[in-house]
Chains A and B, each alone.
Chain A
């Protein structure tokens, strides 16, 4: 076995990173097909504000970020439904409030700016044992919910109106999907940081969509691309001394480019 695999921080990064990436890939497929790709971007900006809030009051940032981002995701849904706003506009409103809040708290703080800005780009290599357990536990919970609601999620994503006619509670499914996305975005910040988290949701999904010949196949390929990118990205980061989050995203981008070329050559 290669020696670098003996390092605890590498093992933790592989393990937590793979779970989180798989989660992002599954949810990302639903989001991309519903034209909600940028919700990850918006919620990650809210996470920035929420993490600042946690640091400001001296709480563990993720414990503050998860409920705050969940509430923000519901707020996006309500804005879309009640204020009759387009989804992208609602995401933009909530996203800018999150960033502005984080910047104000950073301005008011006395010295947590370095900690806060480390969340902008994430670092899976510095993930602690507690964070690994938290990531795996939450990932498994979210994965279980996706598996349990698979047909409802698929139906509501394919054709919302028809789904309603078959008894699928589409309003609840929307709420479920945004809530799962909120939790996932917070987890994924450790992997790719606030700036790049949406790439983990979007890139594996669009890669799979180039090649897949069915919805289940697309989900499998999306997960495969995501996990492969995490493993390759972390390894590249270790040997080439690159930031891990950016390396993972570039691996995802390379797989997307390869899928595009393959599709072009075979079609």
Chain B
């Protein structure tokens, strides 16, 4: 494994009973990568991420996070995770933006996980970074979809992660908010050097931002630079030359 390897997945397979979800998935993520993880519905994208994050069991194969086996990995503050919005929270929950963003800092705390003045300052600066300082005392359930995504991104960023994993962050956003959101992730990747993995359905769109594409359909169909995707024989076989051309042209 190279020194700058952030994530290394080796022969990972996962099944729900008899239904195979992931088959022999292997890939490496290096420091500074911005990876678009794409594939059709049911391709196993979310399962792959949840397995890497230790949120599922009964898998076979292995993965290393920051050089440590994922079974024993516990430095969760090094990873920022933005789950699919629809699963993320109950909109009637009476939590303020500051309270929700503060939850991201718990990964840096040991029991009894008390917040300090420095933590409050960290939360304030993260809200500023996400341009939502004025929303700090508002209830998250009362915000628009785009504002909520910024709040959850702030929760993922507040512990200063080195790896950011985003699961379909643009699902509930209108086209303008979606562009803005992708711009923020790109900026974090370029300016702060945060390695990013972004799950998306939109293969063409992600090619405009990510430097690599991991196309999954239970197994890895393609992994490499987006430019190579357009000339990949595997992808031509998978999509057909017309669809492949269309995706590359949109990009």
Contact = CB atoms under 8 A, between A and B. Distances in A.
Contact of A158 (B81, B83, B93, B113): B93
Interface residues of A, number: 26
Interface in A129-170: 148-149, 151-152, 154-155, 158-159, 161-168
A89 interface: no
B176 interface: no
A151 B113 contact: yes
A175 to B, nearest CB: 16
Contacts of A216: 99
A162 B112 contact: no
B114 interface: yes
A217 B137 CA distance: 11
B100 A158 contact: yes
B106 A209 contact: no
B103 interface: yes
Given A151-B106, A152-B113, A162 B94 contact: no
Question: Which of A33, A167, A217 is the most central at the interface, judged by chain B CB atoms within 10 Å of its CB?
Answer: A167
A133 to B, nearest CB: 27
A158 B155 CA distance: 13
B171 to A, nearest CB: 17
A151 B53 CA distance: 21
A214 interface: yes
A262 B93 CA distance: 19
A166 B102 CA distance: 11
Nearest to B159: A166
Contacts, number: 77
Given A167-B107, A214-B137, A215-B96, A162 B74 contact: no
Interface in B68-127: 74, 76, 79, 81, 83, 87-90, 92-96, 99-100, 103-104, 106-107, 109, 112-115
B90 A33 contact: yes
Contacts of B74: 167
A216 to B, nearest CB: 7
B132 interface: no
B230 interface: no
B248 interface: no
A162 B88 contact: yes
A167 B159 CA distance: 13
B62 interface: no
Contact of A214 (B79, B94, B115): B94
A242 interface: no
B139 interface: yes
A159 B76 contact: no
A2 B79 CA distance: 61
Given A149-B112, A152-B113, A214-B137, A166 B103 contact: yes
Given A33-B93, A166-B106, A168-B106, A213 B139 contact: yes
B103 A159 contact: yes
Given A155-B106, A215-B99, A216-B99, A162 B92 contact: no
Contacts of B115: 151
A199 B94 CA distance: 21
Contact of A164 (B55, B92, B113): B55
A261 interface: no
Question: Which of B74, B92, B95, B104 is the most central at the interface, judged by chain A CB atoms within 10 Å of its CB?
Answer: B95
A217 B103 CA distance: 17
Given A158-B95, A159-B88, A214-B95, A165 B81 contact: yes
Interface in B35-84: 53-55, 74, 76, 79, 81, 83
20 contacts: A151-B113, A151-B114, A152-B106, A155-B103, A159-B83, A159-B88, A159-B89, A162-B81, A162-B103, A162-B155, A165-B53, A165-B76, A166-B76, A166-B106, A167-B76, A213-B139, A214-B96, A214-B139, A215-B96, A216-B99
Interface of A: 33, 148-149, 151-152, 154-155, 158-159, 161-168, 208-209, 212-218
Q: Which 6 A-B pairs have CB atoms at the shortest separation, nearest pair first?
A: A166-B107, A166-B106, A214-B96, A218-B94, A151-B113, A212-B94
